[in-house]
Amino acid sequence: MSEDVTFRVFRGEPDEDDTPTGEMVDYTVEMDEGMVVLDVIHRIQAEHAPDLSCRWNCKAGKCGSCSAEVNGKPRLMCMTRMEDIMEETPENTPVVVKPMQAFPLTKDLVTDVQWAYDLNKTIPMLDGPEEMDWRFDQKEADRVQEFRACIECMLCVNTCHVMREHQLWDEFAGPRFFVRLANLEMHPMDQDETRLEMIKDDYGLGYCNITRCCTEVCPAGINITDNAIIPLKERLVTEYYDPIAIIAKKLGLR
Ligand code: SF4
Ligand code: SF4
Ligand code: FES
């Protein structure tokens, strides 16, 4: 059984000052059973607006391309079922779809995430021992496994108030990269000695006030705050602010 659905979609581009300029446009299309938000966007493209830009690739929640804000919530369009959207949308009200609001607009639903690629290049890579015999406990492997589920959708960064409200792009690495940094720092074979200082000085971990908004929107289910950010904060405290740990280090006891 199919019914009509109206989507109110942002259409626009940045002006010469890079300010997003555009309008919300209503499109009504037929909705079939089992559709996800991305299917409806594709139907709008097919029937009404072939020039509507959106980014997508896998349609399986794996590539992290189709991030957008649906009814004001950051989500993957390909993993958001219309059945759930219709349940939360009041009757006779359109479903509102906007691009991620924290990132610069490219066009319509597409945003520019170049910042993420540039920041990623500054992070010191895993520095393991030369010899090939890398053995460690399964427990140690399990600890970082969760972080490897990140699909780089940037929904967490889009949600974080440090980026969204305060725009601290040059001073704060944001939740996605705290996940990556935790992955490297907690790797049992990593010997890098520079990254922790960078986390404090360059990546601005101190700006995070543990609101947990990033964790709530992560489609990969990564417990960003409790498993990545808080352990990194604990490491910083031990390294730079715990007097007993500092004395022990000076005496060569740790
Ligand atoms: S927990 Fe920290 S990183 Fe996550 S949204 Fe809140 S301030 Fe941002
Ligand atoms: S941590 Fe989660 S929300 Fe953030 S980029 Fe990775 S998958 Fe997306
Ligand atoms: S299209 Fe790949 S995550 Fe949605």
Residue 104 and residue 154 share a domain: no
CA of 36 to the centre of ligand 3 (A): 11
Residue 123 and residue 28 share a domain: no
Domain finish residue from 55, 85, 111: 111
Query: How much is the pTM?
Result: 0.93
CA of 43 to the centre of ligand 3 (A): 17
The residues, any chain, with a CB within 8 Å of residue 179's CB and separated by 6 or more, are: 147, 150, 222, 224, 228
- The pLDDT, as a whole number, for residue 28 is 98
Residue among 158, 159, 160 whose CB has most ligand 1 atoms within 8 A, to mutate: 160
Measured CA to CA in angstroms, residue 171 lies from 136, 161, 208, 236 at distances of 34, 13, 11, 17
Residue 95 and residue 165 share a domain: no
CATH code at position 225? 1.10.1060.10
What is the chain's alpha carbon radius of gyration, rounded to the nearest angstrom? 21
102 within ligand 1 shell (Cβ under 6 A)? no
Task: Provide the domain count of the chain.
Answer: 2
37 within ligand 1 shell (Cβ under 6 A)? no
113 within ligand 2 shell (Cβ under 6 A)? no
- The pLDDT, as a whole number, for residue 1 is 56
CA of 85 to the centre of ligand 2 (A): 21
Residue tagged 């919530």 (tokens): 73
Residue 189 and residue 92 share a domain: no
Domain finish residue from 69, 90, 111: 111
The residues, any chain, with a CB within 8 Å of residue 170's CB and separated by 6 or more, are: none
- The pLDDT, as a whole number, for residue 182 is 98
CA of 177 to the centre of ligand 2 (A): 9
Residue 122 and residue 201 share a domain: yes
Measured CA to CA in angstroms, residue 5 lies from 56, 79, 239 at distances of 21, 18, 55
Residue 79 and residue 142 share a domain: no
The residues, any chain, with a CB within 8 Å of residue 150's CB and separated by 6 or more, are: 176, 179, 180, 220, 222
SS3 letters for the chain? CCEEEEEEEEEEEECCCCCEEEEEEEEEEEECCCCEHHHHHHHHHHHCCCCCCCCCCCCCCCCCCCEEEECCEEEEHHHCEHHHHHHHCCCCCCEEEECCCCCCEEECCEECCHHHHHHHHHCCCCCCCCCCCCCCCHHHHHHHHHHHHCCCCCHHHHHCHHHHCCCCCCCCCHHHHHHHHHHHHCCCCCCCCCHHHHHHHCCCHHHCCCCCHHHHHCCCCCCHHHHHHHHHHHHHHHHHHCHHHHHHHHCCCC
Residue 239 and residue 146 share a domain: yes
Q: Any bridge partners for residue 28, and if so which? A: 6
Residue 120 and residue 27 share a domain: no
Residues in the chain with pLDDT values less than 50: none
Q: Which of these, 172, 66, 183, lies nearest to 116 by C-alpha position?
A: 172
CATH code at position 63? 3.10.20.30
Residue 125 and residue 47 share a domain: no
CB 55 within 8 A of CB 110: yes
Domain finish residue from 111, 135, 169: 111
- The pLDDT, as a whole number, for residue 254 is 67
Domain span holding position 225: 114-250
